[in-house]
């Protein structure tokens, strides 16, 4: 296992290092699909310059990263290494995710009907999953371009990966700290609080029951750790900067979406077109999308918090206000973990074709709109919409496949109708 991992790491680092040296790096770091106003390296450099001049980095509406990040880069200008490390850390963490799933399946194995055994993954398959996850992340073109653009979302991804790792390890404190860090970076990971809690409860065999005091005790304990570390982080930022400037500049910027630079998300076009007096209402409608699905999903998937984490990460990547392809690559890295769902997927061909075509069409339509002047923003937004629809289809397809597999695990794989003919499952 170690040898292929090392090889993979070397290949991944080589590709990135080679791309850093070419002129493509500049081109990529200007692409709106790869960097957003939130995490563009250019803006971080600007913030650093302002900081060096003893001016608040948030003056001037250019820099929107959190204070911790700027101080991190202040001391470590060796940026490329950092991003590599982010990728590496992530990889090692996901390595462990599946280990725990393995144990879980071992537990399940004795209480399911015989014919479903083929649905259970064999240990050899499980063995390679961490490697596949690492490969999906490190060799994903989206990750590579995002890394070459020195997009700081690589750091966010690393933090989220660390959070997942520590959760899987069952360490509540670390999990809460990393979750707080991820939330501090970009608010949206807040929704990951629920699956983490569910997972930790499950690990300790505490049933999710509102009448049990042990449930409440543990929940409050976790929330206290989470909110406490979040508070510490925010206060620390305040003491580092000496002002509260960063709150509106970072969180206000994320939530109220003042920068309408086109990106692969759904916000920019709508808010560029909208009348000002509807803005607040639609802002709420759009932002609520990220948080809205947490409750129903956690009720439906309360037995499967790991899958819930995947769903949440995907939803965040789709519905956040400034998405980049780096966010996409985070949840796409999880796809090999669910490769046992592959046989139940229905639209994977359609979805992968659409995603492929859209990724090629983004730069083309951007060229036609901005440089050639012959197309306009509608063309670009059409592709953005299509891209989002494909992602939503992908996520819902996985969700459906997961539920279907659960159904088969309890009812047997080959369903028969009462008259003995083969039955089909219809989702209505």
Partner 1 sequence: MGLLSDPNRRRALIGMLTRLNAPICMICYMAGVAWFMGLAFEPFTLRTYMSENAMGSTMVEERFPAGERALATGREFAAHKKKTGGMPVDWLVRTMQARGLEVYTQRFSRKLPFPDEDKERYMVKGTNVYGILRAPRAPRTEALVLSAPCSPGNENNQAVGILLGLAQYFRSQIYWAKDIIFLVNEHDLIGMQAWLEGYHHTNTTGMDWSPLQGRGGSIQAALSLELSSDVVTSLDLVLEGLNGQLPNLDLANLFYAFCQKIGVLCTTQGKLPRNDWDTTSGYSHAVQTMMLMVLKQASSRPWGDHGLFLRYHIEAASIKGVNSFRPYKTDATTVGRLLEGMYRKLNNLLERLHQSYFFYLMPSLTRFVSIGYYMPAFGLLALILLLRALDLWVQLSSPPTRTTEDACPPLCPLSAPQPASPGVLSILTPLVISHLTGVALYTLPVLSQELAVEHFPVSETEAVVLTAIAIYTAGLALPHNTHRLLAGEGTEQGWKVLKLVAVLYLAVLLGCTALINFSLVFPERGLLVGVNDPGLTLLFAVFFFQELQETPVTLQEGWMLYLSVISQGILDHALYGSLLYPLAALLVYPCWLLFWNILFWK
**Contact set with partner 1 (CB under 8 A):** 114-118, 343, 346-347, 349, 353, 356-357, 360-361, 364-365, 367-368, 371-375, 393, 400, 413-414, 424-428
Least CB distance to partner 1 at residue 58 (A): 32
| C-beta of 227 vs 357, nearer to partner 1 | 357
The dihedral region occupied by 142, where left means phi > 0, alpha psi between -120 and 50, and beta the remainder, is: alpha
Tokens representing 330 are 């985070």
Q: What one-character DSSP code corresponds to residue 32?
A: T
Both tokens assigned to 187? 């608010």
Q: What are phi and psi of 20, to 5 degrees?
A: -60, -35
Based on CB atoms, which residue is closest to partner 1, 134 or 168? 134
Q: What is the 3-state secondary structure (H, E, C) of 143-196?
A: HHHHHHCCCCHHHHHHHHHHHHHHHHHCCHHHHHHHHHHHHHHHCHHHHHHHHH
CA distances from 250 to 54, 94, 111 (A): 19, 29, 50
- Positive or negative, the Cα torsion across 169, 172, 173, 176? positive
Q: How far is the CB of 359 from partner 1 (least distance, A)?
A: 9
The CA angle 151-157-160, to the nearest 5 degrees, is 155
Nearest distance from residue 104's CB to partner 1, in Å? 19
Closer of 56 and 347 to partner 1 (Cβ): 347
Cα gap 48→52, rounded to integer Å: 6
75 versus 349: smaller Cβ distance to partner 1: 349
- Asked if 282 contacts 271 with a C-beta cutoff of 8 angstroms, the reply is yes
Centre a 10 Å sphere on the Cβ of residue 89 and count the other Cβ atoms it contains: 17
Closest approach of partner 1 to the CB of residue 272, in Å: 18
How far is residue 129's CA from residue 124's CA, in Å, rounded to a whole number?
A: 9
Q: 62: how many CB neighbours lie within 10 A of its CB?
A: 18
Q: How many helices (H) and strands (E) does the chain have?
A: 20, 0
Minimum distance from CB of 43 to partner 1 (Å)? 24
**CB-nearer residue toward partner 1: 374 or 421:** 374
**Residue 303 DSSP symbol:** T
Evaluate whether 119 touches 87 at the Cβ level (below 8 Å).
no
Q: Is 416 helix (H, G, I), strand (E, B) or coil?
A: strand
Task: Please report, in angstroms and rounded to a whole number, the separation of the first and last CA atoms in the chain.
Answer: 44
CA-CA distance, 95 to 333, in Å (whole number)? 11
Nearest distance in Å: CB 107, partner 1:
18
State the minimum distance, in angstroms, from the CB of residue 169 to partner 1: 31
CB of 194 to partner 1, least distance (A): 27
Report in angstroms how near the CB of residue 150 gets to partner 1 at its nearest: 24
Judge contact between 222 and 234, C-beta under 8 A: no
Residue with tokens 């963490």: 93
CB atoms within 10 A of CB 375: 16
> What's the closest the beta carbon of residue 415 comes to partner 1, in angstroms?
12
How far apart CA 170 and CA 168 sit, in angstroms, is 5
Nearer to partner 1, 83 or 140 (CB): 140
For the CB of residue 357, give the shortest distance to partner 1 in the complex, in Å: 5
Q: Which of 77/117 has CB closer to partner 1? A: 117
Name the residue with tokens 């959070």. Answer: 163
């Amino acid at each position: 296992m170690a040898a292929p991992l090392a090889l993979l790491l070397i290949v991944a680092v080589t590709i990135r290092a080679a791309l850093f040296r070419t002129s493509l790096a500049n081109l990529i770091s200007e692409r709106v699909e790869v960097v957003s106003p939130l995490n563009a390296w250019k803006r971080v450099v600007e913030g650093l310059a302002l900081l060096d001049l003893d001016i608040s980095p948030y003056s001037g509406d250019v820099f929107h990263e959190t204070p911790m990040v700027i101080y991190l880069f202040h001391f470590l200008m060796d940026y490329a290494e950092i991003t590599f490390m982010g990728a590496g850390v992530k990889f090692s963490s996901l390595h462990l995710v599946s280990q725990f799933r393995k144990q879980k399946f071992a537990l399940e194995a004795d209480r399911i009907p015989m014919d479903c055994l083929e649905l259970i993954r064999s240990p050899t398959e499980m063995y390679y999953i961490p490697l596949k996850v690492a490969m999906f992340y490190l060799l994903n073109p989206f990750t590579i371009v995002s890394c070459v653009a020195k997009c700081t979302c690589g750091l966010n991804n690393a933090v989220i990966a660390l959070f997942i790792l520590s959760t899987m390890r069952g360490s509540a404190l670390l999990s809460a700290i990393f979750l707080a860090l991820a939330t501090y970076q970009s608010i949206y990971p807040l929704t990951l609080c629920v699956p983490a809690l569910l997972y930790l409860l499950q690990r300790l065999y505490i049933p999710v029951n509102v009448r049990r005091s042990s449930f409440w005790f543990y929940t409050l304990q976790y929330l206290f750790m989470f909110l406490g570390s979040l508070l510490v982080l925010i206060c620390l930022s305040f003491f580092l900067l000496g002002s509260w400037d960063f709150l509106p500049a970072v969180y206000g910027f994320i939530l109220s979406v003042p920068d309408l630079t086109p990106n692969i998300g759904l916000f920019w076009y709508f808010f560029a077109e909208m009348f000002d007096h509807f803005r607040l209402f639609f802002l709420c409608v759009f932002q609520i999308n990220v948080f809205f699905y947490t409750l129903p999903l956690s009720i439906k998937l309360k037995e499967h918090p790991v899958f819930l984490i995947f769903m949440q990460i995907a939803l965040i990547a789709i519905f956040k206000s400034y998405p980049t392809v780096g966010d996409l690559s985070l949840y796409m890295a999880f796809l090999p973990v669910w490769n046992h769902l592959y046989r139940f997927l229905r639209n994977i061909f359609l979805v992968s074709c659409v995603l492929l075509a859209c990724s090629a069409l983004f730069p083309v339509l951007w060229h036609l709109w901005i440089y050639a002047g012959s197309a306009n923003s509608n063309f670009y937004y059409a592709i953005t919409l299509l891209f989002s629809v494909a992602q939503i289809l992908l996520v819902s397809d996985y969700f459906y496949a997961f539920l279907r597999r659960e159904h088969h695990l309890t009812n047997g794989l080959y369903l028969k109708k009462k008259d003995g003919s083969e039955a089909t499952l219809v989702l209505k």
